[in-house]
Structure formats: structure tokens, C-alpha cells
Amino acid sequence: MTAGPVLPRLAVTPGEPAGVGPELVARLAATPIAADLVAIADPGLLDRAARAAGVAINLEPYDPGRRIALRAPGALRVLAAPLRATEQPGRPDPRNAFYVLNTLARAADGCLAGEFDALVTGPVQKSAINDAGEAFSGHTEFLAERAGAEVVMMLASDALRVALATTHLPLAEVPAAITREGLARTLRIVRRELVAKFGIARPRIAVLGLNPHAGEGGHLGREEIETIAPVMEALRAEGFDLLGPLPADTAFVPAMRARYDAVLAMYHDQALPVLKSEAFDRTVNLTLGLPFVRTSVDHGTALELAGTGRADPASLIAAAHMALELAAAGKARRGASNA
């Protein structure tokens, strides 16, 4: 064990081996980020990705009993997980689906046990996992089940935080999925995590309506009247600071943004285009409600870029830095509460 201060330990999963994730992890390792980076991956995969990208990295077997105080740029510790089939960039192989799931499970279990301070995930190819016969709708749902937690997906940049009432659903299924119980649970998680992870003492949350013009008084839909507004009224009575239901087409103008700390959107594509259009390379995906910090890139596997050496690591780098910030803030608040 290293005496004195040690670096926070981040578990990093590259995701789909045929996508850009392995290259992004190599590029992250090449930065001077002050973290003990532990990639849970096939070492050969990382080596091949780094070589293809022209990135110099130094792979070292991971020893969980060894904490480190310094890390040279390029240093990357690897918790080895073998591929089922050698990757072909741009061509996902369902045989590697269980490799991907195993890396996620090992990372989550390590976070739950306190072995890692946070988890940073690269993009996965959901279709390849489902083609292997394993039902998989996304990281968020997988980690929630692994941790036995109720969670909320949030995407965040320096200027905007967007949480989702529903995640990876066909649009036709969204209205039925928005219930009073579900909305109340989601808003409680968002408020709690804005306090616990972001240090906002009294979070102000804007809630979007489901329909155009937030239902136009019932003329364009009644979900706002029958479901969303009653939940908001009940939570306001408990002390929640809630704004809305707001029409989505005006909720993101500057004058409105000044009035809230986060937005709750009713479905995936309702608010995320706004966030990604202005901060795509700086947006981070977070899973709120987990008993550990998990951040991720805000993009997919970019199969067309895999193996070309041209993948942009900005989102993964932003995710790693946000993971460090949230983990440190949570540790500091726990220390203050125990003092």
C-alpha cells in the first residue's frame, strides 16, 4: 500500500470492442488526468486500438491491493477480460456480447464493494448484445438491476442538466409509461442527487409537459392536467422547488434557463437535441440513483470511425473529469457529515 494521499481509482469500460471505445480509452490514458485509471478490458484490444490511433500507452496488470499516488501520461492499469473473438473495427460480433456485459458487471461490482471510486463507461452496441440473445436496453438499466437501485438517466454539460422521465422507449409507448408514481419517484431521485452529488442545497427543477404547448389547457392532450401537474403540486407541498409543466419549445431560452438547475424531460429526444447541439463534445451521461458515481460518453459506437484513429475523445475525457469531481464532492460531504 502507498503511504499518504493516493489517486482516486476510476474503473473504465471501453464498451463495444469493434467501436471507437477502445481508442477513446487509450486517448484518455494519454492525458495527464490525475486518476488511477483501471481499464476492464482485453489487453490486446487496447494495445491494437492504441497502435491504430498512434497513441503511446503503457499497459500494466491491475493489482487491486496496490494504490498509486502518481500516474504518468500513458499509464493504464488493466483488469484483464478476454474477448470471445478478435475484434474487426466497424463490425460488431455478437460473440463478444458477453465479454461486454462481463466488463460492466465486474466494474459495477467493484464500485459497489468500494474497490473503485467511480465508473466511466464507453459506448456499447445494443444491437450486438440483443443479437446474442441477451435482452439489453442500455447501461442505465443494466447498472440499475446490478445495483438493485431505482435510477434516472441524466445528461449534463457545463451549462445544462437534463434528466429523463423515460429512457429507451419507442415514442408510441411513452404516454403510457408516464405515471404519477413514476414521475414522483423520478423527481425525488433527481432532487436528492442534485443535493448529494452536485451540492445544490435547494435544487430548482423545471418539468416539461409531454404535449406541444404543454397540452394547451387540455386541447392538445390531458397528460399535463391528469398526471404531471398533480404530481408537481403534491411535491411542492413537500418543499420541492418545481417549475412547470413547461412547453418544451420555450423551456430552453436563456430567460428560462436562469430559473432552474435541471430539467426533467418526458422522453429521450424531447430535450437531448438541445443539449447535444450546443455541447456535444462536452456532454456527459450520468446515472442518478446508483450508490456510486457512473458517467459515460454522450454518443454511440461510431462504427464508421473505428480503426481510423480519428475518434474524438472529448466526451470520454469530460466524463472522466466529471466522475472525479462528483466522487470527490461526495467523499467530502460524507466526511463532513461524519465529523
Q: Is the pLDDT of residue 107 over 90?
A: yes
Provide the strand spans (E) within the chain.
Answer: 9-13, 36-41, 58-61, 75-80, 118-121, 152-156, 161-164, 204-208, 241-246, 262-265, 284-288, 293-296
- Phi, psi angle pair for 64, to nearest 5°: -60, -20
C-alpha–C-alpha distance, residues 46 and 56, integer Å: 11
C-alpha–C-alpha distance, residues 49 and 69, integer Å: 27
CB 92 within 8 A of CB 127: yes
Q: Name residue 262's beta-bridge partners.
A: 205
What pLDDT is stored for residue 55 in this prediction? Answer: 95
- 332 residue type, one letter: A
pLDDT digits (tens, 9 = 90+) for 7-59: 999 999 999 999 999 999 999 999 999 999 999 999 999 999 999 999 999 99
Q: List the single range of 102-106, 191-195, 273-277 with lowest mean pLDDT.
A: 273-277
In sequence order, what DSSP letters do the residues of 15-27 get, joined into one string? --TTSSHHHHHHH
Q: Is the pLDDT of residue 167 over 90?
A: no
CA atoms within 13 A on the CB side of 310: 5
Tell me the binding residues for a divalent metal cation. 168, 213, 268
Domain locations along the chain: 1-149+290-338, 151-281
pLDDT digits (tens, 9 = 90+) for 282-309: 889 999 999 999 999 988 999 999 999 9
Which CATH entry fits the domain spanning 151-281: 1.10.3810.10, 1.10.1470.10, 3.40.718.10, 3.30.70.330? 3.40.718.10
CATH superfamily of 1-149+290-338: Isopropylmalate Dehydrogenase (3.40.718.10)
- 31 residue type, one letter: T
Q: Determine the straight-line distance between the first and last CA of the chain, rounded to whole angstroms.
A: 25
Q: In what order do the strands lie in the sheet with 204-208?
A: 58-61, 75-80, 36-41, 9-13, 118-121, 293-296, 284-288, 152-156, 161-164, 262-265, 204-208, 241-246
Q: Find how far residue 81's CA is from the centre of its chain.
A: 22
Q: Name residue 120's beta-bridge partners.
A: 12, 295
Q: Is the pLDDT of residue 85 over 60?
A: yes
Q: Is the pLDDT of residue 108 over 60?
A: yes
Tell me the binding residues. 139-140, 168, 213, 268, 276, 285, 294
What pLDDT is stored for residue 339 in this prediction? Answer: 56
* pTM recorded for the entire structure: 0.90
CA atoms within 13 A on the CB side of 137: 10
C-alpha–C-alpha distance, residues 11 and 116, integer Å: 6
C-alpha–C-alpha distance, residues 70 and 231, integer Å: 49
What pLDDT is stored for residue 337 in this prediction? Answer: 63
Tell me the binding residues for substrate. 139-140, 276, 285, 294
What pLDDT is stored for residue 261 in this prediction? Answer: 97
Q: Do domains 1-149+290-338 and 151-281 have the same CATH topology?
A: yes
**138 — pLDDT class (breaks 50, 70, 90):** confident
